[in-house]
Amino acid sequence: MKSVLRIATVDPGEASRNELKSLLLGIDTVWLEAECSRYEFFPDVVRQTQPDIALVNVDADSAAAVKMIAEITSDVPQCAVLVVSSSTEGSLILQVMRAGACEFLNQPLKLDDFVAALDRIRTLRGTGTGGTSESGRVISVAGVGGGVGCTAIAVNAAAALAQTPSVTPVVIDLDLTLGDVDVWLDIIPEYTLHDVAENIGRLDYSLLKRSLTRHDCGVYLLPRPVEIEGQDLIRPEDLRRILSLLRATFSHLIIDVSKAWGPLDLAAMEASDEILLITQLDLSCLRNVVRIMQHLNEHSDLGGRVRIVVNRMGLEDSDISIDRALDTIGCEVFWQLPNDYATMAGARNNGRPLSQHSPKARLTRSIRDLVMRLSANDESASEETPAEKKKGLFGLFSR
């Protein structure tokens, strides 16, 4: 997925400003950070919002616009200026380019021309001194069956990330039927994923931000719909648009996918940088690990993004060792989380993540170390390795 470019616009003309806004909202790889109707106010808007691109319509007053462009390029040099105008006069083009604009496009804007200009700016930002526009990291958390601790790990991983002041994690509850992330955080949200998808045609920064609920641990939540029948109204393309916009502002997106493995779940995984596959050391779960890995390997490179996490290590009723499990599933385990049902249940019942409820618990430390390893992106430790000799599932009990 291309990095999302954050855009602030200025256009004194209401009709052309609305037309431009409609164009921007239809492009997945841009985020409308701010819009302004006055040239004299726009430099302050740019300084406050620090967008990747300042999109300027110069038709209302070209002299004032050129002066403003020069101010922006001087004060906020990392912001690229893209100019649009209905004029084709060479003198105007020369003026705006000398003022610091990097692109000039004619109105009415053509989508192909605009996207091509964005790609050129994206390439320039990737190779120039200004660096690249960072997109949020997307992590899907998927369970191989019900009750393996998928939601618990998603919520507490996000809370562990939020302990770093510069990190802003969002949890998206994609279990549209029985999701309960809001219960884990003791939140009664005003808006849900359904409300956001329903307004996808006019979705911008302010609307999306109002749709999120923030827990005092620093985690933002976009919950599942209230009504069960509302799940059919959310389309994969709507979810992709929502994730693209969230990536532009938040550092991490943690998606608690459902157990249905349907089109929405696959769309979330396709947008993810990593997929945490949560399992336990029992026969049913390990069988499902093999089945799910086969399924994901059939979908492009999804299998290569999977990080297998074994939850509840040390359960007294488990007859399967980690070594026997590795022989069966044929790939490495990325992380092991200890069994501590009492601590996790206490955190859930109090609606507080482990980082607040039991900050010194062994399980809390293990989840914190898990997200640190994910952040370090230790590829060598997470590569899949085929088993030397695969054993039958029931052979796990034969030794």
pLDDT of residue 126: 64
Does 190 score more than 60 pLDDT?
Answer: yes
Do 361 and 244 have their domain in common?
yes
Residue 199 domain flag? yes
Q: Which is more confident, 25 or 157?
A: 157
Does 270 score more than 60 pLDDT?
Answer: yes
Do 47 and 178 have their domain in common?
no
Q: How confident is the model at residue 1 (pLDDT cuts 50, 70, 90)?
A: very low
Q: Looking at residues 297-322, what average pLDDT do you find?
A: 84
Give strand ranges (E) for the chain: 5-10, 30-36, 53-57, 80-85, 103-106, 137-143, 169-173, 213-214, 220-222, 252-256, 274-279, 306-313, 335-338
Residue 16 domain flag? yes
Residue 101 domain flag? yes
How many domains are contained in the chain?
2
pLDDT of residue 383: 45
Do 154 and 116 have their domain in common?
no
pLDDT by residue (tens digit) across 35-88? 999 999 999 999 999 999 999 999 999 999 999 999 999 999 999 999 999 998
Q: Looking at residues 345-365, what average pLDDT do you find?
A: 96
Does 131 score more than 50 pLDDT?
Answer: no
Query: pLDDT > 70: what percent of the chain?
Result: 87
Q: How confident is the model at residue 133 (pLDDT cuts 50, 70, 90)?
A: very low
Q: Which is more confident, 298 or 81?
A: 81
Query: pLDDT > 90: what percent of the chain?
Result: 60
pLDDT of residue 137: 93
Do 181 and 287 have their domain in common?
yes
pLDDT of residue 204: 65
Does 297 score more than 70 pLDDT?
Answer: yes
Do 97 and 229 have their domain in common?
no
Query: What backbone phi and psi angles, to 5 degrees, belong to 175?
Result: -85, 90
pLDDT of residue 399: 40
Does 357 score more than 60 pLDDT?
Answer: yes
Give the domain extent around 35.
5-127
Residue 132 domain flag? no
Q: How confident is the model at residue 347 (pLDDT cuts 50, 70, 90)?
A: very high
Q: What is the mean pLDDT of the chain?
A: 86
Q: How confident is the model at residue 231 (pLDDT cuts 50, 70, 90)?
A: low
Do 24 and 108 have their domain in common?
yes
Last residue of a domain, one of 127, 159, 174: 127
Does 331 score more than 80 pLDDT?
Answer: yes
Do 101 and 197 have their domain in common?
no
Do 378 and 277 have their domain in common?
yes
3-state SS, residue 33:
strand
CB contact burial 10-45 (16+ within 10 A = b; e otherwise)? bbbeeebbeebbeebbebbbbbbbbbbeebeebbeb
Query: Taking Cα atoms as reference points, which of 399, 390, 289, 288 lies closest to residue 334?
Result: 289
Do 117 and 146 have their domain in common?
no
Q: How confident is the model at residue 387 (pLDDT cuts 50, 70, 90)?
A: very low
Last residue of a domain, one of 82, 100, 127: 127
- Number of neighbours of residue 326 by Cβ within 10 angstroms: 18
Does 318 score more than 70 pLDDT?
Answer: no
CATH number at residue 170: 3.40.50.300
pLDDT of residue 94: 93
Do 112 and 229 have their domain in common?
no
Residue 39 domain flag? yes
Last residue of a domain, one of 105, 127, 149: 127
Do 59 and 150 have their domain in common?
no
Residue 259 domain flag? yes
Does 385 score more than 80 pLDDT?
Answer: no
Q: How confident is the model at residue 377 (pLDDT cuts 50, 70, 90)?
A: low
Which residues are bridge partners to 56 per DSSP? 10, 83
CATH number at residue 93: 3.40.50.2300
Do 34 and 64 have their domain in common?
yes
